[in-house]
Amino acid sequence: MSDVIINPFDESGFDLATMTTAINLLPNQYGRVRQLGLFSPEPVMTRDVVFDESQGIITLLNSQPVGSPAPRKKNAKAKIRSFRVPHIPYDDVILPSDLQGMRQPGTLGAKTPESEMMKRLTEMRASHAITEEHLLCGAIKGVILDADGSVIYNLFTEFGVSQKVVDFALDVDTTDVSAKCREVLRHVEDNLMGEVANGVRCLCDDTFFDDLIGHPNVEKFWLGHAKAVELSGSGADPRKGFSFGGITFEEYRGKATDPSTGNSRPFIGAGTAQFFPMGTMSTFKEYFAPADYIGLVNTLGMPMYAKQVLAATGKKIDILTESNPLPMCRRPGVLVKGTI
């Protein structure tokens, strides 16, 4: 009788549905923008996201004699906008040489196929996570970039609005930094267009943050804030939330390797800051399209997908993962860039 070769991955625990669930449940080690809860998830069934932009017209109404005809409401024409959801595949392969005679790290036993699969999924999950963070950060800046730095969408161009830039002039000791903050707040409020917000937050690079807290008109507030955090015994890092002028400032250090150059690229540019409203209802969305598999056509998208495929030769097992996210700021007029 011939021997039966068993594929250790040919189990229900390694099918598309279960592996997709597993990779989505793995902890996300990256993602401050994601942690803020700014973007609400929106699964879609298509590769394109289409929505109507309608600017409501609000007017003052004159009083009229009783019985006289009422003026007609003027309705704004909706503009249809369409965006293609980025497709981000990322694959790996497990070879016999990855397992044969290999010791499981931290043990004396042999490496198992199951542990190797989970190790690969964890590493691939981390790459998808930092990629998602990069896209989210682009959405709050108004320019969504691909991994190589090319522009996927310039939201200011797409929506026909001008980007607001506020020069904080932090290199001038006499600058009224509070007035600069009010300029940001007023601009955000004016561009909410009927939306609600419960505050404005700023993510800035370390140079902008250091210049801010070291400015003569801000320094005393920073010292008091840092001292209060120290006395509270909470162990919190005051860089994660310093309130001044009605805005919460936070130092943001997100960065990743640019695959086209091999150099590390920060997500927030040097000497800059990005301001955006918090607590909105529909301004920030993250759309998820379904994976590129026949069995998932016209299904609601998930944040990430994973599956394994045994080669016909039996010499390797391909691990296929993909994500199809599109973070979107649907009112880019609320986004403000700050410079030193």
Domains detected in the chain:
12-53+80-339 (3.90.1690.10)
Is the pLDDT higher at 234 or at 24? 24
Beta pairing, strands 336-339 & 164-167: parallel
Do 326 and 83 form a contact (C-beta atoms < 8 A)? Answer: yes
Cα of first residue to Cα of last residue in the chain, in angstroms, is 78
How confident is residue 177, by pLDDT bands cut at 50, 70 and 90?
very high
Q: In which band, very low, low, confident or very high, does the pLDDT at 138 lie, cut at 50, 70 and 90? A: very high
Residue type, 62: N
Token readout for 328 is 């979107």
pLDDT digits (tens, 9 = 90+) for 260-282: 788 888 999 999 999 999 999 99
The model's pTM is 0.89
Q: How far apart are CA 319 and CA 69, in angstroms?
A: 69
The residue to which tokens 């807290």 are assigned: 213
More confident call, 9 vs 163: 163
Measure Cα distances from 294 to 290, 298, 322 in Å: 10, 9, 14
Q: What is the DSSP string of 164-215?
A: EEEE--TTSTT--HHHHHHHHHHHHHHTSTT---SEEEEEE-HHHHHHHHTS
**What pLDDT score was predicted for residue 333?**
96
pLDDT tens digits, one per residue of 192-214: 988 999 999 999 999 999 999 99
Q: Which residue in this structure is represented by tokens 């005393």?
A: 220
Evaluate whether 80 touches 320 at the Cβ level (below 8 Å). Answer: no
